Structure 1
C-alpha cells in the first residue's frame, strides 16, 4: 500500500473529528526503515488482519479503534487537537495489544458528559413543562367537585378501600359523573379483564375486576370511536347519577397488544341485558310493573333538564331497546349506551346532536324516523322517538309475564312481520305504510296491572308523535297504579 493512501486514511480520521493526542516513543527514529509486520484492524487494506510497513499505529476516533501500518514517520505526527488519539511503535505486532491511556478515555467521556447532561436536562424540563400544561388544561376542563378536606380517598379502618368506598367517596348523591377524571385514568390501568360477557357490531363488553370488585368494561371497536367519544363527553360533563341509569365509573384510552382500545368502565350487573334476561326468565305482574316503572323513571331523568349552577341539560337516548337496558339484582332496570344521545339545554338555547354517523336500531325506529319526516332541529322530536321505543320495550316485558299460568316465548318487536335483520324499507312498509303494531295477547286484559301497561303501550305507538305520552306521564301512571295496588299484592298472587 502506498504511503499517500495510508496518509489519506488517517487524514479522513483527522478531518472528521478532533485529535486527543499523538504519542512519539522516545526511541522512535525517522531513519528506521526495517519493514515490520503489524496488527491490522478496521482498515480496508488488511490481509488476514495483518499488514507490512515501517511503523505500526493504533488510533481511536469516535469510539472506533484502528490498527495498521505507516510507511513514513511523518504520518505519525497528527495535529494535537481534541477528538483523535494516535500512537506509533516500531516492533513487530507492537500495536496488537496496545490500549488507549486512561486519561484519554476520561477526557473523551468528559466531553460526552459536558454535551449530554445539559441536553438531557433540557429534554426533562421540556417534558415537565408539557405535562404541567396538559394537567392544568385537564383540571380546567374536568373540575373535581370534591371539597378539599375530603379530596383524599378515605381508607376504612382495618383494610384497603373497596371500589364501593371510593365510588361513594367521590360520587355523592347527585354528582353523577363517576370518579374524577385523573383518577379514572389511574383506575382504568389497574383493571384486569376476566371474561367477555357480550359482543356486538360496535364492540365487546367484559367483566373486569378492580380492587376485588366486578366492573363492566365496554371496549369500543375503532369504527365506533364516535360513540365512545359521545358517551365519555356526556358522562364527564353531565350530572347523570340515578338508580335507573347505568352507573358510570371511568373512561380511558389504553394500549393493549400494540393497539389502542377505547374503554368505558361502568357498574357490572351479572343478570345482563333485559334482552338476555327475558330469554330465560319469566315475570309475575308485580315484577313486570317494577321493571316498567324503573325504565320509565330512568327515561324521565334523561328527558328532564335540571336548572341551576350544577344542573344539566335534557338528553334524548335515540337508541332505546331491550339490549341497551340492564337488569339489576333488585328487579329494577337501568338504561345504558348513550353513544347516540342528543343533548338540549332550553336555558342556554342549544341542541347538540353530535356527529356520530351511526343510526338507531331499525326495528325500534319510530314512523317519523323511517319516513324521514322527523323535525331534526326540534328536541321534542327525539324525545317522542324514545317514547315509541319505550312502548316496544314494555311489550317485550309483558310477553314474558305469567298471567293465569299463560306466558309467551320471547320475541323481538314485529317478529311476525319482518325478518330477523330487517331493512330500512321493510320496517318503513310495516310501520308507516301498513301502520301495523305489535299484537297484544288476550291474557293481558284479564289482569289489572298488565291491562294498564297495555293501554300505556298503545298510547306510545300513536302515528302522530305529538299524540304520544311523555315519559313523565308514563311514569306517573304506572307509579299511581303501583301505589293503588300495594294492598292487594297477596290477592294478585293467589289469582295466578
Structure 2
C-alpha cells in the first residue's frame, strides 16, 4: 500500500515533536533570563525574595528622603539624621551582611501593640540600592522618629541633671521597659503582644526627647516569648559585655522568659547608676561621666575582665556616701542595688522600678525638695553608744577577743568623731 502524497509518516511526526519540544525549551529559557534580569540588582538574592513590610507611615511615600549627617555608629550599622519634606527622621542603615539584625528589629517593631510613649516610634523599613563607584550596593534601611538630643549616654557626657530630671528620665525609661516586658492580651483592633526581652539594654540605646522623657531603641537582639512556646534558636551570651549580667558572663543562663527579663533588669540597674552619677542634687561636685566599671576595666574590657570583676569579685559600681545622706537619692540607690543583685531571682521587675521611682518623686513633691539627712548630735551619739553595747554583748559571748577589740576600737573612734562634729554644730 502506498502512502498518499502529503501524508504524515513516522519521520515527519518525529520531526514535528522535536521542533515543539525545542520551541518550549527556548521559550522557558528566555522567560527565566528575562525574570532574572528584571530583578533589582541588590547583589544578594535573599534580599529580593523578602517582600519586606509595608510602610508604617505615609510620610515615607513622599520621596526623596535626604540623608543629612551621621549621628551614631554601632555594631550593626550607622544612624543618619535625614529629612523628608519638612520633617526630620532617623535612618538606621544596615549593610547587607547584617540582614538578620535588620529583619529582627523590623519584626519587633511590627509586633502588635508596640506603639508606646516610651518606645521609639517606627516609621518603616526599606531595601535601597546605593551607588558605590561603578556598582550598586544593597543597603537595608530602618526609619524611625528623630530626636535631636540623641542617646542618654551622649546627653550625660555633656550635661548634669537635677533631681526632677533624674526622676523624669529614669521613670520614663523604666515605664518603657516595663511595657516591653509585659504580655498584653489581644485588644480590640490589635493582636496579642508577647513579652519581649531587649537583650542589649544600655544608655546608648535609650533616646531622649526634647522634654527629657526616654524612649527605648535598638531591637536588633530582642526576642519575644509566646505563651507555652520555647524562645526558639537564640544565643545566651549576646549584647554589650559591660552590661552583661553575672549569669550571662558565666554562660549559665536558664533559657526561659523570666531569666531573659531579669538580664535586662541587671542592665537597667547600671543605666540608673549612670544617670545617678550625673545628678547634682547631693552636696559636692558632680563627677565626670563614666561608663559602669570604667574605673576598674577601662573603656574596652574583655570578657575575662568582666568575669573577674562582676562574677568572681561580685563588684558593682560605687555608691557614694554623699548620695546616702540625701533622702531622695538614698532611696534611689536602694532601687539601683535591687536591680543589679547577683541573685537574678532577687532583682526587681521593671514595673516595680517604675512604681518605686514614682513614689520617691511623689513623696519629694509633698515633702518639698529632697534634703540631706542630718542627724542631731544626740541621735548620733545615742546610735553609736547602742552599737558599743551590742559590741560588748558580742564580746561576752565570743572567744575571739582580738576581733571584738578591733571592732570596739573602731566604734569608739566613730563616737569620738561624732562628738567632735556635735561640738562644732553647738559652736
Per-residue CA deviations over 1:346-395 (Å, capped at 9, x if unaligned) read: 2xx2244566898200000000001111112x111100000000000000
In 2 relative to 1, CA 468–493 (structure 1 residues): closer, same or farther, beyond 3 Å? Answer: closer
- Tell me which residue corresponds to 1:436: 315
The structure, 1 or 2, with the larger RCO (C-alpha pairs under 8 Å, 6+ apart) is 2
SS of 1:205 mapped into structure 2: strand
1:303-382 equivalent positions in 2, closer than 5 A: 303-309=181-187, 310-346=191-227, 349-352=228-231, 359-376=238-255, 378-382=256-260
| TM-score under structure 1 length normalisation | 0.61
Contact conserved, 1:384 with 1:466, CA < 8 A, in 2? yes
Contact conserved, 2:231 with 2:257, CA < 8 A, in 1? no
Contact conserved, 2:77 with 2:95, CA < 8 A, in 1? yes
Aligned counterpart in structure 2 of residue 225 of structure 1, from 99, 103, 106: 99
Segments of structure 2 that go 5 or more residues without pairing to the other structure are: 1-29, 39-48, 374-427
How far residue 199 of structure 1 moved from its aligned partner, in angstroms, is 1.5
Aligned counterpart in structure 2 of residue 384 of structure 1, from 262, 265, 271: 262
Give the total of aligned pairs. Answer: 322
How far residue 423 of structure 1 moved from its aligned partner, in angstroms, is 1.0
In 2, distance between residues paired with 1:237 and 1:195? 30
Contact conserved, 1:406 with 1:443, CA < 8 A, in 2? no
SS of 2:210 mapped into structure 1: coil
Aligned counterpart in structure 2 of residue 275 of structure 1, from 153, 158, 179: 153
Contact conserved, 1:185 with 1:251, CA < 8 A, in 2? no
In 2 relative to 1, CA 358–339 (structure 1 residues): closer, same or farther, beyond 3 Å? Answer: farther
Segments of structure 1 that go 5 or more residues without pairing to the other structure are: 1-118, 128-136, 145-177
- Tell me which residue corresponds to 2:331: 452
SS of 2:297 mapped into structure 1: coil
**Residue 256 (1) aligns with residue 135 (2):** no
In 2 relative to 1, CA 420–494 (structure 1 residues): closer, same or farther, beyond 3 Å? Answer: closer
- Tell me which residue corresponds to 2:61: 186
**Residue 242 (1) aligns with residue 120 (2):** no
In 2 relative to 1, CA 493–290 (structure 1 residues): closer, same or farther, beyond 3 Å? Answer: farther
Q: Which runs of 4+ in 1 moved over 6 A?
A: none
Aligned counterpart in structure 2 of residue 479 of structure 1, from 343, 352, 358: 358
- Tell me which residue corresponds to 1:58: none
- Tell me which residue corresponds to 2:178: 300
CA-atom RMSD in angstroms: 2.7
Per-residue CA deviations over 1:5-59 (Å, capped at 9, x if unaligned) read: xxxxxxxxxxxxxxxxxxxxxxxxxxxxxxxxxxxxxxxxxxxxxxxxxxxxxxx
In 2, distance between residues paired with 1:200 and 1:272? 14
In 1, distance between residues paired with 2:79 and 2:235? 20
- Tell me which residue corresponds to 1:40: none
Contact conserved, 1:340 with 1:358, CA < 8 A, in 2? no
How far residue 327 of structure 1 moved from its aligned partner, in angstroms, is 1.1
In 2 relative to 1, CA 358–223 (structure 1 residues): closer, same or farther, beyond 3 Å? Answer: farther
In 2, distance between residues paired with 1:206 and 1:357? 30
1:141-220 equivalent positions in 2, closer than 5 A: 179=56, 186=61, 190-220=64-94
In 1, distance between residues paired with 2:233 and 2:123? 22
Per-residue CA deviations over 1:96-126 (Å, capped at 9, x if unaligned) read: xxxxxxxxxxxxxxxxxxxxxxx99xx89xx
How far residue 442 of structure 1 moved from its aligned partner, in angstroms, is 1.6
How far residue 345 of structure 1 moved from its aligned partner, in angstroms, is 1.8
Tell me which protein shows more helix as a share of its residues: 2
How far residue 449 of structure 1 moved from its aligned partner, in angstroms, is 2.1
Tell me which protein shows more strand as a share of its residues: 1
